[in-house]
Amino acid sequence: MSKALYIAEKPSVAQEFAKALKSGGQRRDGYIESDTCVVTWCVGHLVELASPESYDEKYEKWRYDDLPILPSQWNYQIAAATRKQFSILKKLMEREDVEGLVEATDAGREGELIFRLVYNQVKCKKPFERLWISSMEDQAISDGFSHLRNGREYDNLYQAALCRERADWIVGMNATRLFSTLYGQTLNVGRVMTPTLAMIVQREAEIEGFKPEPIYRLSISCGGITALSDRFENKQDAEKILNRLKEEKTAQVTKIDPADKQEKAPQLYSLTALQRDANRYLGFTAQQTLDYTQSLYEKKLVTYPRTDSRFLTEDMEGMIPNLAQKMAHKFGFTKNVQVHAEQVINNSKVSDHHAIIPTVNVADAEFGELPSGEQKVLSLITARLLAALGDAAVRNEVDVEFTCADTVFRAKTKNIREKGWREIQDWIIGSKADSTDSEEENEDKRGNAEMLACIAAMTNGRSYPLQNPKMEEGKTTPKKHFTEDSLLSAMERAGADEMPEETERKGIGTSATRAATIEKLVRIGFVERKGNKKTKYLMPTHKGVALITVMPEQIQSPSMTAEWEQKLLDVEKGNFQDTEFMSEIEDMITDLVKTYKVIEDAEVLMHPAMEEIGICPCCGQHVIERQKGYSCENRGCNFVLWKQNKFFEALGKKMTKQTAIKLLTDGKVALKGCKSKKTGNTYDTTVVMTVDENQRAIFELNFEKGEAKYGKGKSKKN
């Protein structure tokens, strides 16, 4: 009896597919089998691009003369950690009773690549169909299996995925080796990572180079309203007008302009929009938000997360009212919920997947059993769905202008007259916990109400007593450091000004990859997170600044990378040849290798002066602080005091700079409040340092008179 082989991306998803197929299969080593089908999984990328040395042994050493490395035929290898699962898939694909396959990896570019690389590595020729779903709900899975598509319909998607993977390899391998060999240290370069770093470095350069300029404004009080002039750049000009104002008795009302302005309901969440709000409101990193949302997807509580769309499709319109009512009831919102489904429907703005929304399963879920992070992200997604369906908010704004001494003074007040969509959004994401507004909000409301009352008593064209004219002095301010929220926005908009308005995808990276790009920059030491618990800023390290300083424009340009992203999308749509895309990448790298000139004095840039903290006890030269420890500047000397020091960690202490200085100066350091891991007791002691014949530091506890002693100190090497 013939069987179909279903290949998912991970075990948990495969299990759900097996349930949906109602096959009643038995769990075996690496797959689930029944009388009618076999369901297995890939565990992410099983097959990956091989390293340069697989093409030629000479590439084991990094040499400038060997660049560029441009494979004519690409080599692939099985990831070491997943060889067993690959072997299982190979055997399953080759089974005689398996006549066809179902590609059930994630419905996107990377999911396509994962399946196709395994399929091609096995040299499988059996026909395959494609499962394409945007939700892990039982009904969505069942419908998907009932409407499988011909796998070859996604050949262009696969070609785009190959182009992305191979372009990243060509740029990463060649540029990293080029700059590392030229500057004598490892400098990681990436097609998306480096332009992202360039934006962060550029922002910091603008902040550091910013010179605040003084600005001056005049203010008056008239009829109970405080109004401001436009800015003056010249203090003397402002003072001249101020002197005239002091001689005036009245100011004339020259404009009263009341208007009701509508705030349209917000759009649904794409992944990037969700990551931005989760960072702004919850302090989550982009990667945390993706991880929480992916987990909610696999629990069938939200739809597919890796989407750049903010709309739903026409065929979903009928289910929206029921979903909205269930979500409002789940979150305890008792007022009538407005559902303007037409606001979230737009087929033309949905490509692979629609916007992220909660599923109907949320209505029956035990909310309190979800991890805290998932609860918060689910609340954001649900609030955004209901807000996007809601009435517009109506804001009452009144502009008033006074003229005096040939100068216009303006005041504006605004008041939310109809909360509309804001009411339910505030309810779900936190305001429902507080029945009263904050003190600041109440003060603003009182001020607005008083100002509106004063304006209502005024008549356009009349003059009113002038009071308290004064000059306010301030300074211009620089741009703010990037947060993940603002960086994601910048990545999404990169190059937009230089592309046609109709361009579908602008920016660098994709919704699915931007979080990983940021995390990699932090992990390899080009960027660090600074700030408080509420707000973290992304700041370039010295290493990151140095890299961008020596990078040529074509590698660090966000505009060029954004153009590549658009071309990848065109490959996906069949509007651009994959061979042409790869040819452009290869030409760019070849030109870079041939024409790049080393920047003079880069040695100083790459290797900043290290702080000297003491004298080496082994050779007498200086000990300097490095990233991982305090080591001798003499490269032939082995002496080092590691910052992550097991001996000190066993005492509940760290090898701080002050501790290292004390050890180098006195050969010992007194420590208070050390903690015994065995007993939990605390004690004071002195750590004595000596060095052995191999120039390694050895530490010993010395309990001097008066110190509490809980066992004999033992010698231990650093």
309-325 CB burial, b ≥16 within 10 A, e <16: bbbbbeebeeebeebbe
Tokens of 464: 């009113």
The one catalytic residue among 31, 269, 304, 630? 304
CA angle 588, 590, 593 (to 5 degrees): 110
Q: Which amino acid is at 591?
A: D
H-run or E-run covering 12: helix 11-20
**d(C-alpha 104, C-alpha 100), whole Å:** 13
Active site residue 55: no
Alpha-carbon distance of 701 to 715, in angstroms, equals 7
> d(Cα 284, Cα 297) in Å, to the nearest integer?
18
Q: State the pairing for strand pair 98-104/3-8.
A: parallel
Decide: 147 and 132 in contact? Cβ < 8 Å.
Answer: no
CB 172 within 8 A of CB 54: no
- Specify whether the CB–CB gap between 269 and 289 falls below 8 A: no
**186 DSSP assignment:** -
| Dist. CA 183–CA 213, nearest whole Å | 39
Strand segments (E) across 314-441: 393-404, 407-418
Distance CA 377, CA 288 (A): 10
Torsion of CA 691, 693, 696, 701, to 10 degrees: -40
289 within 8 A of 515, measured Cβ to Cβ: yes
Q: How many helices (H) and strands (E) does the chain have?
A: 22, 25
- Active site positions, annotated: 304
